[in-house]
Amino acid sequence: MTDRRFADPAAPFRSPPGGATGGPGEQPADPMPSTILLVEDNALLAGRLSEALRSLGVSRILVAMNNDTAAQVLSEERPDGVILDVLLGSESSAPTAERLTEAGIPFIFFSGSPLDPELMRRFPDIARLRKPAELDHLRAVIGLWA
């Protein structure tokens, strides 16, 4: 089996060599968080990443496409963790990152672009994954939220 590498923005992750683990009917080896909020402005990317998260064992994925929707979701829900795109259209995700920090909700930055130095300064301890990411890397980070 070949390593599937995604070069287009419609696929924000790639399977490890040998294919993805945790396929239909399989349970991932490590416990996964039950609810994750995905803050991503690209609907196609959000759909693909939601599929990947389900394959890893996440049972509930909430999706917000901008800071306002993320704030609304966070006023009603407390996810186990958040995958946060750095750039949401033309706006920075910094307001959502600040809200998450204040609420004590773990999150990671997930972006195809380098992080803005100001954002790195403001959130130095937050994990970062670059698109495309290996499923195993995603599993390792979100597995800490279980």
Burial 1-31 (b: 16+ CB within 10 A, else e): eeeeeeeeeebbbbbeeeebebeeeeeeeee
pTM, rounded to two decimals: 0.80
Burial 72-106 (b: 16+ CB within 10 A, else e): ebbeeeebbbbbbbbebeeeebbebbebbeeeebb
pLDDT for the residue 29: 58
91 or 9, which is more confident = 91
pLDDT for the residue 66: 97
Percent residues over pLDDT 70 in the chain: 79
Is the per-residue pLDDT at 34 higher than 70?
A: yes
Which element (helix H / strand E) includes 137? helix 135-143
Out of 19-33, 62-76, 111-125, 128-142, least confident range = 19-33
pLDDT for the residue 84: 96
Which element (helix H / strand E) includes 81? strand 81-84
For residues 40 and 32, give the distance between their C-alpha atoms in angstroms, rounded to a whole number: 20
Which of the following CATH numbers is that of domain 36-143: 2.130.10.10, 3.40.50.2300, 3.50.50.60, 3.40.50.1580? 3.40.50.2300
